[in-house]
Chains A and B, each alone.
Chain A
Amino acid sequence: MSQEFFIFVVMVGVFAAGTFALKWPVAVSMLLASVAGALAGGFGVPIRHLVEGTFGYVDTILTIATAMIFMNAFKDSGGLEALSAATIRRFHKIPGLLLVLLTFVVMFPGMITGSSSASVLTAGAVVAPMFAALGIPGVEAAALIAMAGILGMIAPPVNIPAMIIGGGIDMPYVGFEIPLLLLTVPLAVFSAFYFGYRFVKKTDISAVVRTLDTKTLDQYGGFRLFSPVLIVLILMVLDKALPKIFNLGMPLIFVLSTIPAYFTGKRFNILNSAKTAIEQALPVLGILVGVGMFIQIMTLTGVRGFIVVNALSVPPALLYLAIAISIPLFGAVSSFGASSVLGVPFLLALLGRDQIITAASLSLIAALGDFMPPTALSAIFAAQVVGLDGYGKTLKKLVIPSLILIVWALVFIIFSKQIRTLY
């Protein structure tokens, strides 16, 4: 057994013991796994490296924090609830389309924040009662919300795993929008039909519409309620189209869009709303800090290089199998960690493919890490917002769609050059 492999086993072992056996927070387990790895590598307790590692995702932390504050303000203003109500009222005669559009509503916060937890905890919580009213049982509703959460996390404009993978080979996060839409939209449509259509078609949706609470929507009007989202979209477009004039950055865009949310709908305590948002986001922010430390120590001890070399030397026939198995499994640590530690070497091993489509596809597979116990953020939170006791049944429901997701992503990698010619 090489020393690097031994250190890797120690790190994973301490992490697994901390999260599974001792039920510590994932972030704390990662910190201790990093310390254990450094000790096993003969580096003592390298405080400088541990602190250095925490800086790996500071900008991402700031983006997620401000995006969560925006989403919570939008939710507290009644905007999110009104968006779901408006969707049901407008499309209730076409149940299939209604279901797909509600799935897109759940995806929306993840698209903006790059976090599946943001989707599940904000839009998922709002849409969950509507799924129940449409006749979808709790387990299926939780599975659909969890799947929409990870698809929202991967859909453009913000895809953090793709940014991490691209960053590993100095590839800018440019030109990802179309591949990410091609990857996520069909899966979202499939998931909506797979989990919900057989229940929704049996439900009398006219009765649901009659009992729908549209008070906020009627009082303030759709345009006024949804204007904070329009401001986010406009500022994002301007930021990309005119970078020399605007160049605001995502955190400032979310802050600028949060302020109007206070005036466009129901009044709410903006400080309490922001605090709740931070409390909801904190487990994810902690994981990002922990992943940063974990990866820093893996780099320091040579474990990262060991993984890269092994990934590059995988025979071509086994490469896709290795991608399909190892990336989601490493997601038990974190989907962001899987993107960094495994996504980058696999992208290097696939240099002959179209790099943007390949990185986008690898990010989609990495997102499955949010279903992988013990972290399983998306599945845990989805089960919570629906009101289920545990998330085991939700995970079982997600197995087949997850396999389809992996196959879909691998098809995109294999035919990346042909897909590139389509747009």
Chain B
Amino acid sequence: MTIIYLGILAAVLALVLWALVTSKKPSFQATAAMVIVPLLLRLLLIK
């Protein structure tokens, strides 16, 4: 179940990254960057 959870997490993280790089609004990019931090750390099982 952990692998499935991490798979969903990776997919959401990839979508947020995609939204970040395709957006031209700095405010949107800043929000996306904030969301990426916990998702990435959780994916790497750091926290």
Say whether A286 contacts B12, CB under 8 Å: no
Is A161 an interface residue when CB atoms closer than 8 A count as contact?
A: no
Given contacts A24-B27, A25-B27, A282-B31, contact A58 B19 (CB under 8 A): no
Q: Which of A54, A249, A283 contacts B38 (CB 8 A)?
A: A54
Say whether B41 contacts A285, CB under 8 Å: no
Docked Cα-Cα span, A108 to B26, in Å, equals: 32
Is A295 an interface residue when CB atoms closer than 8 A count as contact?
A: no
Is A275 an interface residue when CB atoms closer than 8 A count as contact?
A: yes
Q: Count B-side interface residues using an 8 Å CB cutoff.
A: 25
Say whether B27 contacts A58, CB under 8 Å: no
13 sampled A-B residue pairs with Cβ under 8 A: A25-B31, A28-B30, A51-B38, A55-B38, A69-B15, A251-B5, A275-B15, A278-B16, A278-B18, A282-B31, A285-B16, A286-B34, A292-B38
- C-beta contact mask, B7-47 vs A, less than 8 Å → 1, else 0? 01100100110110011000110111011011101100001
Most-contacted residue by chain B among A25, A55, A292 (CB, 10 A): A25
Measured CB to CB, the nearest residue on chain A to B15 is A278
Say whether A28 contacts B18, CB under 8 Å: no
* Chain A residues with CB under 8 A of B22: 275
Say whether B38 contacts A286, CB under 8 Å: no
Docked Cα-Cα span, A65 to B36, in Å, equals: 13
* Chain A residues with CB under 8 A of B38: 51, 54-55, 58, 61, 289, 292
* Chain B residues with CB under 8 A of A275: 15, 18-19, 22
Measured CB to CB, the nearest residue on chain A to B20 is A282
Docked Cα-Cα span, A251 to B1, in Å, equals: 12
Is A62 an interface residue when CB atoms closer than 8 A count as contact?
A: yes
Say whether A65 contacts B12, CB under 8 Å: yes
Is A66 an interface residue when CB atoms closer than 8 A count as contact?
A: yes
Say whether A58 contacts B8, CB under 8 Å: no
Docked Cα-Cα span, A292 to B42, in Å, equals: 15
- Shortest A23–chain B CB gap in Å is 8
Docked Cα-Cα span, A370 to B34, in Å, equals: 21
- C-beta contact mask, A22-55 vs B, less than 8 Å → 1, else 0? 0011011001000000000000000000011011
- Shortest B45–chain A CB gap in Å is 12
* Chain B residues with CB under 8 A of A61: 12, 35, 38-39
Docked Cα-Cα span, A252 to B28, in Å, equals: 27
- Shortest A363–chain B CB gap in Å is 24
Measured CB to CB, the nearest residue on chain A to B22 is A275
- Other than A278-B15, A290-B34, give 12 A-B pairs with Cβ distance below 8 A: A27-B34, A28-B30, A31-B34, A52-B47, A54-B38, A61-B38, A61-B39, A62-B9, A275-B18, A278-B12, A282-B19, A285-B31
Q: Is the interface of B mostly helix, strand, loop or mixed?
A: helix
* Chain B residues with CB under 8 A of A292: 38
* Chain A residues with CB under 8 A of B31: 25, 27-28, 282-283, 285-286
Say whether A252 contacts B15, CB under 8 Å: no
Given contacts A58-B38, A58-B42, A275-B19, contact A282 B28 (CB under 8 A): yes
* Chain B residues with CB under 8 A of A28: 27, 30-31, 34
- Shortest A24–chain B CB gap in Å is 7
Is A274 an interface residue when CB atoms closer than 8 A count as contact?
A: yes
- C-beta contact mask, A255-290 vs B, less than 8 Å → 1, else 0? 100000000000000000011001100110110011
Measured CB to CB, the nearest residue on chain A to B8 is A251
* Chain A residues with CB under 8 A of B4: 252
8 A-B pairs with least C-beta separation: A286-B31, A54-B38, A278-B15, A25-B27, A65-B12, A27-B31, A285-B35, A289-B34
* Chain B residues with CB under 8 A of A286: 31-32, 34-35
Contacts of A1-37 to chain B: CB distance below 8 A: 24-25, 27-28, 31
Say whether A27 contacts B30, CB under 8 Å: yes
Docked Cα-Cα span, A61 to B16, in Å, equals: 12
Say whether A252 contacts B47, CB under 8 Å: no
Q: Which of A55, A251, A255, A282 contacts B35 (CB 8 A)?
A: A282
- Shortest B41–chain A CB gap in Å is 7
Given contacts A25-B30, A27-B30, A278-B19, contact A289 B8 (CB under 8 A): no
Measured CB to CB, the nearest residue on chain B to A293 is B34
Docked Cα-Cα span, A289 to B9, in Å, equals: 15
Docked Cα-Cα span, A58 to B9, in Å, equals: 10
Measured CB to CB, the nearest residue on chain A to B23 is A279
Docked Cα-Cα span, A69 to B27, in Å, equals: 22
